[in-house]
A and B are shown apart, each in its own frame.
Chain A
Amino acid sequence: MTIQQIVFIIISALTIGSALVVVLDRNLFRAAIALMASFLGVAGLYILLDAGFLAAAQLLVYIGAISILIIFAIMMTRRLMQTTETPFNSQPIWGLIAAVLAFALLTIVILNTWPTSDFAGAEPLVGELAVQSNVNALGRLLVDPEAFVLPFEVASVLLLAALIGAVAIARPEKE
């Protein structure tokens, strides 16, 4: 077992463990903090996958913005942090069965298609140069008419629409 695999297992355990706290904890505020830890673990996985830019975006957008937004929503709505009532609706058993079945199905498909012994493809790009060319190529892809310029522009329109929509929806109604 190499160092990289040990690091992978530690980061995955952090991610999965805090994800379990997110869905199981009674206290919603604690769940939100665990969500931040889970996002941090996912950023660690991105770094292991040599996607440094994406890890930075994950830190900024998820931990810096979305988690804070969720914590604001928790604090603005009363009754959310009560820890006496059950955190689940009327069908936790059925939800559990469905989730376990989905995981079993996915695992069977994954292990049949990409066996663990098969270290498929990919000579590792390592070092400063690789990271630099990564980000460089990524920026070019995003503005290349042959590649992703259309989704890029649509995403900016979407963000503008979401901004205006969120303000319009959350504003208190006035006469």
Chain B
Amino acid sequence: MVPLSWYLIVAALLFCIGLYGVMARRNAVAILMAVELMLNAVNINLVAFWRYLQPEYQAGVTWAIFVIAVAAAEAAVGLALIISVYRSRDSVVAEELDSLKY
């Protein structure tokens, strides 16, 4: 059987790749994609903990389902916002959207 820590390390690596994408990408759609990667990493953790530590009570799987539902809502609203911003500013580069700064 695969040790629990392998799953946790793969999830941590996926989370940090997503973190890097959020902090370093220019494009707002790419930032959203990196956020989805981070949510997936969290889901792997939830399911791995359920499977290894408490397989008789499926709280981890249930929360993973809620995370998927929230991620779907987040992607829909986020992409709608990006399209709306693109329409008014003609750009989706996150650095150029700075009108709240001044």
Interfacial residues, chain A to chain B (CB-CB below 8 A):
2, 4-5, 8, 12, 15-16, 19-20, 22-23, 28, 31-32, 35, 38-39, 42, 45-46, 48-51, 53-54, 57-58, 61-62, 65-66, 69-70, 72-74, 76-77, 79-80, 86-92, 94-96, 98-100, 102-103, 106-107, 110-111, 114-125, 134, 137-138, 141-142, 147-148, 151, 155, 158-159, 161-163, 165-167, 169-170, 172
Contact = CB atoms under 8 A, between A and B. Distances in A.
A129 B8 CA distance: 28
Could you tell me the dominant secondary structure of chain B's interface residues?
helix
A39 B55 CA distance: 24
B10 A103 contact: no
A163 B82 CA distance: 15
A32 B10 contact: no
B9 A110 contact: yes
6 contacts: A28-B29, A38-B37, A50-B51, A100-B16, A115-B5, A125-B55
Interface of B: 1-10, 12-21, 23-27, 29-30, 32-34, 36-37, 40, 43-44, 47-48, 50-53, 55, 58-59, 61-62, 64-66, 68-77, 79-84, 86-87, 91-92, 94-95
Contacts of B17: 16, 19-20, 22-23, 99
Nearest to A2: B1
A54 B65 contact: yes
Contacts of A166: 76-77, 79-80
Contacts of A87: 25-27, 30
A15 B95 CA distance: 29
The 7 lowest CB-CB distance pairs between A and B, nearest first, are A95-B23, A23-B21, A162-B73, A95-B24, A99-B20, A170-B80, A106-B12
Contacts of B2: 4-5, 8, 48
A161 B47 CA distance: 27
Given A76-B83, A91-B23, A49 B5 contact: no
Nearest to A114: B5
